[in-house]
Amino acid sequence: MAIDFELGKKILAAVNASRNLDVKTLDADILPHPDGKDIFILRSNMKFPVSAAQVEKVLDKFGIPHSSIDDVPCTDGTCHFTYDTLHQLGLHLIPYLSYGILNGGMATSYCDVKNNSKFNPDLFAQAEADFGKMAQLCKGQPKGITPAYINPDGSPGYDFIELKMRSVLRHIQQSQALTGKPASEYQHAIFQMTSDNTDARLAAKYKEYKNSPILKDLITRTGVDVTEPESAVQPLIPAFTPTSAGYPLSFFKDKDGSYYGLPGGHGQNFIVLRDIYKKLLAAGKKFVYLGNVDNIGFTITPVELAALALSGRQATFDFSFKTPMDVKGGILIRERNGHLTCGDIGRAVSNEFVKKNEDAGIPILFNCATGLFNLEYLVENLDRIIENLPIRLSNQNKDIGQYSQAEQITWEVIGLLDNLMIFAVEKYERFIASKLLMDNMLASDLECCRSYLSEHEDTDFVRAVRSVQKGLVWNLREQYGLELKGDRWVPSL
């Protein structure tokens, strides 16, 4: 495992110099709500007014026929878009979009027994045998090429990335049917950030995907081979000793005396993918999606693409209303300087601040780890973003031992932007994240989990699980074009 010790030394020096990277540093003021100006609720009855002059400018810029908005009423110089008309316009913009996957690392924490067992000890005890079988399929593999779900018959489903490639191809197919554009207009459809530890294994797996039962026919029909994404490798940096051991921190060694390398957070994508962003822009792309590999709900949303193009803003981000189960991740806040930003609970925003607002019944918007960027703006501002994105330090207690990990969090880029949009989305359609293998097993409604769930039906935990299960089924059918035949999900006709 190649570790970039030089980069690690620079980060370690910064950590030891400040000694407060694990302290809550965001100056949270209020929790913002949907206002129809900066924050929109993404739903079927949404309204999105845009000046007629701006609409004409966008249509001309992207070579979109004016007839494409014949169903959009325009009065007094304003065009009134709906969800459906935004969706149609978004399909015209698919040729200008590249879909970015933040692959992360190996399925290490994902299969970690300690992490999965403390998640819910009683449930884990009932599911431990099945957990062990599934963990064997994932151990030693990049997380992105492990099963995204488990079939009702207990067999592994299609991989996370395999599903994402299918979704992109389905959107390309819909766009081609509407626009008649050739395959050449849709090249560079996918890009990714890998790591030293995953890059070769991913590349080998993608060669197999060329003959995947859910990809092969779509590749032929569209003429777009998404199994060869633009790719850049994120360096591994050494883990540090835990802050509980005292400063100055040093490089962590496991019980065998070996250094432990980890990716430095998805926020490093802005420097790792810098050349790819520039290449995509030069190739004619104008928008890039960014999202996590383990979120089944991270798919292209043409409505957001159209809204971003029409608004001329810098980016859009997905948030959902926080549930009692959302304890790890970021929330949308407005700092005292007026900026919207995303702060990780327990790292950048205190647990006390979150609890105080929840107890007061104030809705909280929870990060869905999905962003859509205006690529022209992003490329122009990459250096500024790279320089100003914070470094966060977190303490970990895993099977390998106790250590601290330095990370940059992608979504704190929100605080560096001044002209963005937030979409409040349906959580269980857009955010089904398998952070732990037990998450996957619960979402898949495995037999080994059912007795526990039925015994605790009237709890927030089980209500959330039921919603996730419905969301998984919805995504497999609607976003990925699968159908349940017998006890397995297969491609629908």
Helix, strand or coil, per DSSP, at residue 97? strand
- Quote the pLDDT of residue 327: 77
Q: Any idea which of 316-320, 342-346, 484-488 has the lowest mean pLDDT?
A: 342-346
Task: Decide if pLDDT at 156 tops 90.
Answer: yes
Helix, strand or coil, per DSSP, at residue 422? strand
pLDDT tens, residue by residue, 430-441: 999 888 999 999
- Quote the pLDDT of residue 104: 64
Helix, strand or coil, per DSSP, at residue 54? helix
Q: Which domains does the chain have, with CATH numbers?
A: 5-491 (3.90.550.10)
Q: Could you identify the residue written with the tokens 């913009």?
A: 93
- Quote the pLDDT of residue 20: 56
- Report which secondary-structure segment, H or E, holds 455: helix 447-455
What percent of the chain is modeled with pLDDT above 70?
Answer: 97
- Quote the pLDDT of residue 235: 87
Contacts for 361 with CB less than 8 Å, ≥ 6 apart: none
For residues 431 and 295, is the Cβ–Cβ distance under 8 A? Answer: yes
pLDDT tens, residue by residue, 355-371: 888 888 888 999 999 99
Task: Decide if pLDDT at 21 tops 70.
Answer: no
Query: Residue 226: which of 273, 261, 192, 263 has the closest Cα?
Result: 192
Query: Residue 295: which of 269, 324, 320, 274 has the closest Cα?
Result: 320
Instruction: 437-440: list long-range contacts, CB under 8 Å, 24+ apart.
Output: 437/107, 437/110, 437/111, 437/116, 437/131, 437/134, 437/135, 437/138, 438/116, 438/119, 438/120, 438/123, 438/124, 438/127, 438/131, 439/468, 440/134, 440/147, 440/148, 440/149, 440/150
Task: Decide if pLDDT at 1 tops 60.
Answer: no
**Cα 437 from chain centre:** 17
Task: Decide if pLDDT at 25 tops 70.
Answer: no
Query: Residue 225: which of 200, 207, 201 has the closest Cα?
Result: 207
Number of Cβ within 10 Å of residue 457's Cβ equals 11
Q: Dihedrals φ, ψ of 35, to 5°?
A: -130, 0
Task: Decide if pLDDT at 19 tops 50.
Answer: yes
Query: Residue 176: which of 230, 219, 228 has the closest Cα?
Result: 219
- Quote the pLDDT of residue 339: 82
Between 52-61 and 302-311, two packed helices, what is the crossing angle to 10 degrees?
110
52's tokens = 């007629």
Contacts for 416 with CB less than 8 Å, ≥ 6 apart: 381, 384, 385, 388, 389
- Cα–Cα distance between 449 and 437 in angstroms, integer? 13
- Strands of 140-267 (E only): list them: 190-195, 230-234, 236-238, 261-263
Helix, strand or coil, per DSSP, at residue 74? strand
- Report which secondary-structure segment, H or E, holds 13: helix 5-18
For residues 181 and 313, is the Cβ–Cβ distance under 8 A? Answer: no
330's tokens = 């970021």
11's tokens = 């980060």
Q: Dihedrals φ, ψ of 284, to 5°?
A: 105, 0
User: What is the band of 28 on the pLDDT scale with cuts at 50, 70, 90?
Assistant: low
- In this predicted model, which residue has the larger pLDDT, 444 or 103? 444
- Quote the pLDDT of residue 23: 47
- Report which secondary-structure segment, H or E, holds 354: helix 351-359
Q: Could you identify the residue written with the tokens 């062990």?
A: 132
pLDDT tens, residue by residue, 169-192: 999 999 999 999 999 999 999 999
- In this predicted model, which residue has the larger pLDDT, 352 or 143? 143
pLDDT tens, residue by residue, 109-135: 889 898 899 889 999 999 999 999 999
CA end-to-end distance (rounded Å), the chain: 43
- Cα–Cα distance between 212 and 166 in angstroms, integer? 10
Mean pLDDT of the chain: 91
Specify which residues 158 forms β-bridges with: none
- Strands of 172-269 (E only): list them: 190-195, 230-234, 236-238, 261-263
Helix, strand or coil, per DSSP, at residue 226? coil
The stretch 224-235 carries a mean pLDDT of 94
Residue 9 corresponds to which amino acid? K
The stretch 220-243 carries a mean pLDDT of 94
**CA atoms within 13 A of residue 49's CA, in its CB half-sphere:** 8
pTM of the model: 0.90
317's tokens = 């981000």
Task: Decide if pLDDT at 302 tops 70.
Answer: yes
Q: Label residue 360 exposed, middle or buried (CB < 10 Å: 0-12, 13-18, 19+).
A: exposed
